[in-house]
Amino acid sequence: MSEPVATNQTILVVGGGISGMTAALEAAECGKQVILVEKSPSVGGRVSQLYKYFPKMCFPTCGLEINLRRLKANRNIRLLTMAEVTRLEGEPGDYTATVRIRPRYVNENCTACGACAEAVEAEFDDEFHFGLKKRKGAYLPFTMAYPQRYVLDPRILGTEDAERAKAACKYGAIDLDMQEQTVELKVGAVVWATGWKPYDAARIQPYGYDRFKNVITSVELERIMDPNGPTGGRLVRPSDGKEAKNIAFIQCAGSRDRNHLKHCSRICCMASLKQATYLREKFGDEGKATIYYIDIRAIDRIEDFYARVKADPNVSFIKSKVASITEDRATGDVILHGVDTEGYHRYSNRHDLCVLAIGMEPSVPADQFPTELVVDENGFIQRDPANGAIFAAGCSEDALDVNRAVQSGTAAALKAIQVVNRVAGTEG
């Protein structure tokens, strides 16, 4: 790979999710030079892992596709995948970023024909599907991946599988000698958009995520709904493959809790309301959703979505933070225990499946940024002059939904453009 050329007028965007892509595209479409760095083998981020997104209930295949087309068409963006920023030094208008690029072992000749995946035997947990499914040692990260190019899992290197993959490729795309590279980039401004990760559900001990098969997280449910997902899009529960027609949703699983994440993750209420509609989509009148909540925070413009879901007689709401979950070993059903706030009734309710509306925490822990950044107590990057020309976008800045993440990405791009314009002014 040739070393990307960059100057003090270049904008570095870290993270190729919806916020980073937006920031990169907005800046590039204004004529600025942009380098987009993404850690995984494909751009798309968390949005690509959704089945549908609220409030319009469209598929990411559509919304993301628009951005991918813009990305492919734009000559001002250089995309580095499997790359991480390991060091970032300097000041506004003059930063040096050290980027480590992991080897993909597949070069530009790849046509994504899939012959290598067929030849390889080793299987690993599929990260894209949160390990609910296996993938081969040579794989395409997901159907819509961009670049549309296969990846070799480094764990098959040095095994017969690596040779089998190489032999199967008709285009000479597999290069087993590819090495890790480290490059230094000069940039004028940085947009930091490393996004979020789901909170570790196993740490919410009373809910038994690590003990009961039929307790899953909201992000896992998105994968189960995906036609290309672990169940082929059938809404079934993990323990026995039975159709999950009676689903409990637990809100604030990890959020608004001093024992876990202090902040409100903001998307989870809407996510559960959205997922409640999946039941009607799959089972019609037979699907029943029960949402256990402290209070529903369907923010401003999407309140009407809440009203619509609430009007569905098959969706019920119980005002109570569930105290604990037990499992009926004979059937695999989950039983939720607690006391509701509207009348203080003690309940033990049986459900086919329990979905934890899991909270969102910043992907990068506060002490692991490659440079010093001002973050709040929850690890989100602040708008602080001390951060110089490093601007947070999307969920690096706050817990945001897709719509707000895009706005945040655009805002960060505008701030970065101002910095490089100033540089251009002084450099003539």
Among 176, 183, 294, 424, binds another protein (CB under 8 A): 294
Rounded to the nearest whole angstrom, what is the least distance from the CB of residue 4 to another protein in the complex? Answer: 47
By the rule CB under 8 A, 252 interacts with another protein: yes
Q: Which of 36, 21, 30, 29 is nearest to 67 (CA)?
A: 21
Rounded to the nearest whole angstrom, what is the least distance from the CB of residue 165 to another protein in the complex? Answer: 49
Size of the site for another protein (CB under 8 A): 20
How far is Cα 311 from Cα 328, in angstroms, rounded to an integer? 31
**Which segment (9-17, 63-71, 167-175, 253-261) binds another protein by CB under 8 A?**
253-261
Rounded to the nearest whole angstrom, what is the least distance from the CB of residue 99 to another protein in the complex? Answer: 40
CB 250, CB 207: distance < 8 Å: yes
Q: Kindly report each contact of residues 378-387 with a partner whose C-beta sits within 8 Å and lies 24 or more positions away, as own/partner.
A: 378/261, 378/262, 378/263, 380/263, 381/192
Sign of CA dihedral 357, 362, 367, 373: negative
How far is Cα 403 from Cα 19, in angstroms, rounded to an integer? 10
By the rule CB under 8 A, 202 interacts with another protein: no
Among 2, 179, 259, 368, binds another protein (CB under 8 A): 259
**Minimum CB distance to another protein smaller for 223 or for 321:** 321
**Minimum CB distance to another protein smaller for 86 or for 205:** 205
Rounded to the nearest whole angstrom, what is the least distance from the CB of residue 360 to another protein in the complex? Answer: 16
By the rule CB under 8 A, 194 interacts with another protein: no
By the rule CB under 8 A, 264 interacts with another protein: no
The SS3 of residue 110 is coil
CB 292, CB 318: distance < 8 Å: yes
Partners of 188 in beta bridges: none
**How much of the chain is helix, strand and coil, in % rounded to 5?**
30, 25, 45
For another protein, what does the binding mask look like between residues 308 and 347, x meaning CB under 8 A? -----------xxxxxx------------xxxxx--x-x-
By the rule CB under 8 A, 200 interacts with another protein: no
The SS3 of residue 12 is strand
Among 258, 311, 330, 367, binds another protein (CB under 8 A): 258
By the rule CB under 8 A, 266 interacts with another protein: no
CA of 43: how far to CAs of 30, 82, 88, 145, in Å?
A: 21, 10, 22, 7
* Amino acid (one-letter) located at 178: M
By the rule CB under 8 A, 256 interacts with another protein: yes
**Minimum CB distance to another protein smaller for 7 or for 378:** 378
Q: Which of 301, 349, 303 is nearest to 322 (CA)?
A: 349
Rounded to the nearest whole angstrom, what is the least distance from the CB of residue 241 to another protein in the complex? Answer: 31
**Minimum CB distance to another protein smaller for 85 or for 250:** 250
In the numeric block, which tokens belong to residue 132? 């609910």
By the rule CB under 8 A, 257 interacts with another protein: yes
- Note the residues at the interface with another protein (CB under 8 A): 206, 252, 256-259, 294, 319-324, 337-341, 344, 346
